[in-house]
Structure 1
Amino acid sequence: MNWLNSEAFTVLDQHIMWADMIGNIFGLVALALGWRRNVWTWPVQFLAGLILFGAFYGHLAGSAGKQAVVVVVALYGWWQWQWQRGKGQGKGGDLTVRFATWRERAGMIAAAAVGTVAVALLFEAFPKLSWDPWPDAYIFVGTIVAMYAQARGMVEFWFAWLLVDLVGVPLNFANGYAFSGFVYVIYGALVLWGLRDWWLRSRATAVLEGAHA
């Protein structure tokens, strides 16, 4: 499997690695499935996380840690969406989405802030873990928050991904993972599209529930 960490081709003096390319293609598919609220987003995210972990391991601790989180949370998300579908909250493999409560939002923001500081201090205490402690910590913790929100069917999931990508894109380019940087431009478009779709569906669900109240 050493070929995964070898160069596939070069574009604009940027070296594209096989693992970086394949993992991000799977990531795009997973994001598209997540936008469609399809439970198969989680197995695809699991596979993408495994491949990208191998690509980043030993170079970008925060990005590698992000993929480790993707792998673990993908299992949780798969269980959570299957459970909600079993309760009749989703139809045909889809999930009913909603906005988080203010209490949930406050909890996620607090967890992101405290977690980022704690992980960054850990990276600073052990420099071999990360070349860029604070951005790596931000990406690592932000990914946990984003995927938790996705697993719970919260519209805020898309906002969280946008905030993670604002740091992740330049960091990938700066560290030679050009394909990740290019793909995140497409991610951005899908995230905005997915945000619009989930937003509208959450409002439609709220209106329907109000009519039945």
Structure 2
Amino acid sequence: MTLLEGAANTLATLSILLAGRNSVHTWWTGMAGCSLFAVLFWQTRLYADVLLQVFFVVASIVGWWHWSRRGAEGDGNVHRTGAIALAWMTIAAAIAAVGYGTLLHRFTDAYAPFADSFVLATSVLAQLLLMRRRIETWPVWLLVNTVAVPLYASRGLTVTAVLYAAYWGNALIAWRHWVRLSRAEASLA
């Protein structure tokens, strides 16, 4: 493990744990970790992941703004996404994954362009849901982590792969926590 990989993972882990606890501090720690990950993924030729990290930095700015205003809905509460909206978002993510994977396959020396693009597209979906404090962010993160673990391990990013396996467990715990928050908030309403 390099110093860069260690620092990126430390900040990302802190950010992910804070997101699971519904803390606004997830955003600034995420920006720092994602910036470091962008450099790391460029060095390992995971170009879709570089683009993803740039997206995460921008999304973290927007997420921080939303959450600082007491949440995406203005109340600081977690919410559910409608089935139709979630279906459209899922279709868009699938199209993006195939399209970007095809571009990477044809025009770059990218390693595992389709798996890398899948991680990109589903991470964007999960991040958009997280920014709006949607419960469905957590099952999407489970899917992301399921693909990311073997992808990162195959590039020799062992620490990153192990931490993404731990993030899988964190997503389960956070999902349960957010469902409880939603129920508690609904009972108060």
Q: Do these two structures clear the TM 0.5 threshold for a shared fold by scoring above it? A: yes
Structure 2: gaps spanning 5 or more residues: none
Amino acid at match of 1:81: W
Amino acid at match of 2:90: I
Residues 69 and 143, structure 1, Cα contact 8 Å, conserved in 2: no
2:175 to 190, 195, 205: 195
Task: Provide the aligned length of Structure 1 versus Structure 2.
Answer: 188
- Give the whole-Å Cα distance in 2 for the aligned partners of 1:27 and 1:60: 17
Matched, 1:78 2:59: no
Query: Per the alignment, do residues 88 and 153 of structure 1 end up closer, same or farther by CA in structure 2, a change over 3 Å counting?
Result: closer
Query: Per the alignment, do residues 87 and 105 of structure 1 end up closer, same or farther by CA in structure 2, a change over 3 Å counting?
Result: closer
1:149 to 124, 129, 140: 129
Amino acid at match of 2:94: A
The residue number in structure 1 matching 2:25 is 40
1:169 to 133, 149, 155: 149
The C-alpha deviation readout for 1:109-160, integer Å capped at 9, x for no partner, is 11111111111121122123x2211101101111111100000100111111
- Give the whole-Å Cα distance in 1 for the aligned partners of 2:19 and 2:150: 24
Residues 56 and 63, structure 1, Cα contact 8 Å, conserved in 2: yes
Residues 72 and 132, structure 2, Cα contact 8 Å, conserved in 1: no
- Give the whole-Å Cα distance in 1 for the aligned partners of 2:128 and 2:149: 21
Matched, 1:98 2:98: no
Identity %: 27
Matched, 1:66 2:47: no
2:166 to 186, 189, 196: 186
1:116 to 97, 101, 114: 97
- Give the whole-Å Cα distance in 1 for the aligned partners of 2:3 and 2:41: 12
Residues 66 and 72, structure 2, Cα contact 8 Å, conserved in 1: no
Question: Which protein is bigger by CA-based radius of gyration?
Answer: 1
Deviation at 1:65, TM superposition (A): 2.2
Matched, 1:24 2:4: no
Amino acid at match of 1:42: W
TM-score by length of 2: 0.93
- Give the whole-Å Cα distance in 1 for the aligned partners of 2:30 and 2:135: 18
Amino acid at match of 1:121: T
- Give the whole-Å Cα distance in 2 for the aligned partners of 1:195 and 1:134: 27
Q: What SS is found at the alignment partner of 2:69? A: helix
The residue number in structure 2 matching 1:50 is 35
Structure 1: gaps spanning 5 or more residues: 1-15, 91-95
